[in-house]
Amino acid sequence: MNLSRRELLKMGLLAVCGTVIPLGALEILKPEAAASLIRPFSEKKRWAFVVDTTKCVGCGMCAKACKLENEIPFDTEVQRTWVERYVQLKDGEVIIDSPHGARYGFTKNDPQGKEINEDDVAKGLFVPKLCNQCEKPSCVQVCPVGATYKTDDGVVLVDRGWCIGCGYCITNCPYLARFFHPITNTADKCTFCYHRIKKGMNTACMDACSFGARKIGLLNDPASEVFKIISTHRVMVLKPEYGNEPQVFYIGLDDIVR
């Protein structure tokens, strides 16, 4: 075959383009996607949380422990985790409160500052709350600089050195789990005590709870209690209508819970 220099260059260029373009298509196959081919989804690590509201007594130890563990100034009115009290009266009225995020506990019969006659109460419950570490976190979606991100094992974290403090993530969280850290002045939130769970420890709130109302574990890990509860009990999540796919599962929620 006789090739002129021009033809050789032409074919050479074609060959290069022909290799590069299909290689470019490989980019569509992201590392996670490739990994999921080797390791089935069911084994993917994913932290999740279970809150059993039927066990919560509103002592507020979790909220207190969280503040101390994560060095959020104790007296500042912001909480990484908090407990809400719901009281429904027989006439249908619902009274909700969470004084100081319950870090001093619910010690009196005084929802919203008014004493209630026990005979008037139809039902009451305590609902501990924390960041839902959503599968589709809207806070991560809206961060303009990518300072907040989801780790491979599903926990949403904030890079304090990179946050610009626009508050867009705070506004976009349906659960109000976010706030500005009073010292660093950057967005802050519950991290499932990422620094502890990575070492095989429990979260601070879980350790502080004497009643077993809080449980952390890996989803899809047959040995974890969280997995057992979610796969065998009737659980619910908060505000599913926002489409964030929250990963904190509740036992014993009620329709009065906001």
**Among 28-36, 40-48, 182-190, 227-235, the segment contacting other proteins (CB under 8 A):** 182-190
Q: Are 130 and 190 spatial neighbours (Cβ–Cβ below 8 Å)?
A: yes
Q: Is 1 helix (H, G, I), strand (E, B) or coil?
A: coil
145 binds other proteins (CB under 8 A): yes
CA dihedral 97, 214, 150, 219 (to 10 degrees): -140
CB of 125 to other proteins, least distance (A): 14
C-alpha–C-alpha distance, residues 45 and 223, integer Å: 13
- Which of 164, 195, 212, 233 touches other proteins (CB under 8 A)? 164
212 binds other proteins (CB under 8 A): no
**Among 9-17, 20-28, 164-172, 227-235, the segment contacting other proteins (CB under 8 A):** 164-172
34 binds other proteins (CB under 8 A): no
127 binds other proteins (CB under 8 A): no
242 binds other proteins (CB under 8 A): yes
170 binds other proteins (CB under 8 A): yes
- Which of 12, 18, 165, 240 touches other proteins (CB under 8 A)? 165
Close Cβ partners of 6 (under 8 Å, ≥ 6 residues apart): none
C-alpha–C-alpha distance, residues 92 and 110, integer Å: 18
157 binds other proteins (CB under 8 A): no
CB of 5 to other proteins, least distance (A): 45
**Among 10-18, 54-62, 77-85, 217-225, the segment contacting other proteins (CB under 8 A):** 77-85
Residue 24 CB neighbours (<10 A): 9
- Which of 162, 195, 225, 231 touches other proteins (CB under 8 A)? 162
DSSP state of 100: G
Q: Are 250 and 53 spatial neighbours (Cβ–Cβ below 8 Å)?
A: yes
Residue ranges in the chain assigned as alpha helix (H): 5-25, 31-38, 61-69, 138-142, 168-172, 194-197, 204-208, 225-232
36 to 55: interface string for other proteins, x by CB under 8 A: --------------------
Q: Are 137 and 156 spatial neighbours (Cβ–Cβ below 8 Å)?
A: yes
Question: Which residues would be at the binding site for other proteins (CB under 8 A)?
Answer: 73, 75-79, 82, 84, 94, 96-98, 100-101, 112, 129, 138, 141-147, 161-168, 170-180, 182-183, 185-186, 242, 258
